[in-house]
Amino acid sequence: MFIRKRILKTSLSSLFLVLLFTTCHVVTRLFRSEKSTVVVPEYFPEIPYPADNTYSADRWKLGKLLFHDVNLSRDKSISCSSCHKQEFAFSDTVALSTGFENRPGTRNAPTLGNVAYHPYYIRDGGVATLEMQILVPVQEHNEFNFNILEIAERLQKNKLYTDLSKKAYNRELDYYVITRALANFERSMITSNSRYDRYFYQGKKYALNESEIRGMNLFFSEKLACTKCHVGINFTNYSFENNGIYEKYKDIGRKRLTQKEEDLEKFKVPTLRNIALTAPYMHDGSFSNLEKVIEHYNSGGKTNPRKNNLIKPLDLSAQEKADLIHFLKTLTDEEFIRDKKFK
């Protein structure tokens, strides 16, 4: 999902500002409940919900319906779930997903797993909250190519939606309800039960085999320095880096947002959770498999003046590369991709 600089309609711009000032700063946290559709393990932080969009079953249900509804796109051809497929950890299987009139996107669709914990959204970090992020694919010409006001008008004809809107937010179905319900649903996409989790957090030492443990030790080693960027429960520090996949990038990266030269060709460090399911990789989907990703980092990447200086030749053996890939595959959460509550 991405933003292109262009002049928006005054009404939509005003709504964007409303969303900005009503979703930031004050947050509350979801309490654990056996009846809740949101399950957070003890070793994860509680989900930070905006004060005006705390969890409720009605909000979640409405968001789920909207997530799978093609009416959000102008030509009724795609929904959020068209590019964020559960079986692939809510990512896509192509380098660039297609949207309105089969137009290709410009960046690879990221996974939505644990998206609740992100401090900002899209690959250049240009959006502050999930509620605001919803507007990006809505207005993007290559995605939904629509207007949130027109979407609301279209959906108001659906009695189930209007009834749920009243129950969930005590107001008519409008831009406020649509953006918040979708965000409420997406925050429930918690992925936390991979074999790595069972080994590392739950103390189940049988969860990993010898090769996977060797790969894990390599991953966390000073030699590879993977955890300088891929750290924490979500295996990312959310920083913006250039990892040297090109000598010259076609996409200017974060500079498109900040207009700062130091942000040229830099992109947000992605999560590694469910990485085995989210190919192709990188911001443009240029690497088709994990083997190519590991080979890239083993080589030290291409020459680029903005490349992170941690990326250098690693001289890994064939066995070490295999072990590392075996470890990355342990980050797959089978329970998450099969959970029927999301379907």
User: Is residue 283 within 8 Å of 107, Cβ to Cβ?
Assistant: yes
d(CA 202, CA 193): 9
Q: Kindly tell me if the per-residue pLDDT of 13 is higher than 80.
A: no
199-218 residue pLDDT tens: 999 999 999 999 999 999 99
User: In 3D, which of 291, 332, 328 has the Cα closest to residue 215?
Assistant: 328
CATH code for 10-190?
A: 1.10.760.10
* Domain-wise residue ranges, the chain: 10-190, 195-338
47-80 residue pLDDT tens: 999 999 999 999 999 999 999 999 999 999 999 9
Residues in the chain: 343
99-153 residue pLDDT tens: 999 999 889 999 999 999 999 999 999 999 999 999 999 999 999 999 999 999 9
Q: Select the more confidently predicted residue: 300 or 6.
A: 300
pLDDT score at 30? 40
d(CA 98, CA 306): 30
Q: Considering the chain, what is the average pLDDT of its residues?
A: 91
User: In 3D, which of 98, 174, 182 has the Cα closest to residue 140?
Assistant: 98
Q: Helix and strand tally (H, E) in the chain?
A: 14, 4
d(CA 20, CA 216): 40
pLDDT score at 36? 63
Q: What backbone phi and psi angles, to 5 degrees, belong to 239?
A: -80, 175
d(CA 328, CA 343): 26
| pTM value surpassing 0.85 | yes
Q: Is 212 helix (H, G, I), strand (E, B) or coil?
A: helix
Does 195-338 match 10-190 at the fold level? Answer: yes
Axis crossing angle, helix 10-23 with helix 148-155, rounded to the nearest 10: 90
**How many alpha carbons lie under 13 Å from residue 167 in its C-beta half-sphere?**
14
Q: Kindly tell me if the per-residue pLDDT of 155 is higher than 60.
A: yes
DSSP per-residue string spanning 116-182: GG-SSBSTT--B-SHHHHTHHHHH-TTTT---HHHHHHHHTT-HHHHHHHHHHHSS-SSHHHHHHHH
Calculate the alpha carbon distances from 9 to 12, 21, 37 in Å. 5, 19, 37
Residue 257 has a CB neighbour count (10 Å cut-off) of 18
User: In 3D, which of 99, 81, 113, 86 has the Cα closest to residue 234?
Assistant: 113
d(CA 333, CA 294): 21
- Say how far residue 220 (Cα) sits from the centre of its chain: 23
User: In 3D, which of 243, 262, 250 has the Cα closest to residue 302?
Assistant: 243
User: Is residue 134 within 8 Å of 178, Cβ to Cβ?
Assistant: yes
> CA-based Rg of the chain, rounded to a whole angstrom?
20
CATH topology of domain 195-338: Cytochrome Bc1 Complex; Chain D, domain 2 (1.10.760)
User: Is residue 310 within 8 Å of 228, Cβ to Cβ?
Assistant: yes
